Amino acid sequence: MAVVVRNERGQVAVGTGPLDPADVVRVARHGAGVRLTDEALAEIARSRAVVDALAADDRPHYGISTGFGALATRHIPVDRRARLQRSLVRSHAAGSGPEVEGEVVRALMLLRLSTLATGRTGVRPATARAYAALLSAGLTPVVREYGSLGCSGDLAPLAHVALALIGEGAVRDRDGRMLPAADALAAHGIEPVVLAEKEGLALVNGTDGMLGMLVLALADLRRLLTTADVAAAMSVESLMGTDAVFAADLHALRPHPGQADAAANLRALLAGSGVMASHRGPECTRVQDAYSLRCAPQVHGAARDTVAHATAVAGRELAAAIDNPVVTPDGRVESNGNFHGAPLGYVLDFLAIAAADVAGMSERRTDRFLDVARSHGLPPFLAGDAGVDSGHMIAQYTAAAVVAELKRLAVPASVDTIPSSAMQEDHVSMGWAAARKLRRAVDGLARVLAIEVLTAARALDLRAPLTPAPATGAVRDAVRAAGVPGPGEDRRLEPEIEAVVGLVGSGAVVAAAQSALAGHVLT
């Protein structure tokens, strides 16, 4: 089985093997182009010959000479089969609502192209080439929020992409301008595809949207969980907590790998802290910290292990060829149920639960800074002149509001099946809906962590002349360098929060902490 490689121009070459998740991110977020390998084109041609033979057969074959879904019993004569495929795409392009983000559409397109490249779908090489050309030209079809039930794949989203491929509907170019698909294709020298037997079905029948959103979310969550460790270290430090509970031998007693990684991060991040050293002596009466400080490795670690499980599921799906019917390697054309999104829907929901819980713990740490009964000597709400100033009081409100939303988003979508297609599709996955709410959950987690970092940075300043650890101090300095001043009288917090959200999202918070660590790589 071939693997995906990059050519000299930095494109992602799509072959018969699974895509690397990093390449999905490159194409989706960074506009990398694509090309089909010679091996993929040969395999596509081989399976197309099977479909062409069946197209000439008098017997009905699903997707080739029959209707679709509950209409599969209708035999379609040869002279109407081109119309059959075109009608499928037009009728299934029934999405509604706001536009889906361009990175999601590009991920969806790349993953559908990857399945086409396996040769299991029966499309023509020219159709696969045109699909690749659409991606490489930076033309992103307009896809709408609602329309997929996550069974028979992401039908409506994929149909909107297929619609652009045949020169209908709308696309956005690299500059974000919306154009009629026909005009955009012509401007880039791409001929609209006239669909042949089986091709319309092959273009719309996959789990590519929910898988694309899962791959992107996993990339984000890995960064955010490391950020959560950084934020927790800053909070433990500036709330005068103890780092004794992060000792390696204590965590070895409960051998969850994510927990061990989180505890190792916290130990490294707090090493060399003057704040921590100030209360290590026998006079310190702090025996146990609150759970939001003491149990950070357990919660962050459980989230890491959830990400690891979801990564394994995504890896298996990246190696899959999802279509119905499918052209098998030995030349059979068989109906199947591999398009059902349950494996993805479950882990998408699971990740939303983890994101909500990590955010909830972060918000509790933020809240401790603001209450004089729990902040160990910090001013009320970290205000410059408490009473005249409110400090970070309402920043905590914002974090709490986001956490409340994340709890609602943690309600699983994958258990909420609604039968469709005249009861032919009587159990669906809702995987697309699970993926959409996970995207909102990931964004919310980033915002809650940013508020904790912002608040902890102010608290570290208020602990002067005690000095922070090199790593936490580097993060505090990065916050200041981003244009967020230190403690003082009240000022607009919105731009400060958004500045730190940007640092969290770009990975700058983790990078700042890592720059001050000599012997430990944050994971």
* Active site residues per annotation: 62
Antiparallel, parallel or unpaired: β 12-14 and 34-36: parallel
> Could you count the other beta carbons within 10 Å of the beta carbon of residue 212?
28
Helix then strand then coil, in percent of the chain rounded to 5, is: 55, 5, 35
Q: Which residues are CB-contacts of 93 (< 8 A; sequence separation ≥ 6)?
A: 156, 159, 160, 162, 163, 169
Residue 342 near residue 434, CB atoms below 8 Å: no
Bridge partner residues of 132 (DSSP): none
Torsion of CA 225, 226, 231, 235, to 10 degrees: 100
CA 387 – CA 201 distance, rounded (Å): 65
Helix (H/G/I), strand (E/B), else coil: 284: coil
CA 208 – CA 205 distance, rounded (Å): 9
Residue 410 near residue 430, CB atoms below 8 Å: no
- The one-letter amino acid code at 489 reads E
Angular region, 205: left φ>0, alpha ψ -120 to 50, beta rest: beta
Tokens found for residue 237: 């430090």
Buried b (16+ CB within 10 A) or exposed e, 120-134: bbbbbbbbbbbbbbb
Residue 105: burial class (beta carbons within 10 Å; 0-12, 13-18, 19+): buried
Buried b (16+ CB within 10 A) or exposed e, 372-387: eeebbebbbbbbeeee
CA 468 – CA 482 distance, rounded (Å): 19
CA 501 – CA 265 distance, rounded (Å): 21
CA-based nearest residue to 230, from 472, 29, 36, 495: 472
Residue with tokens 């909500």: 356
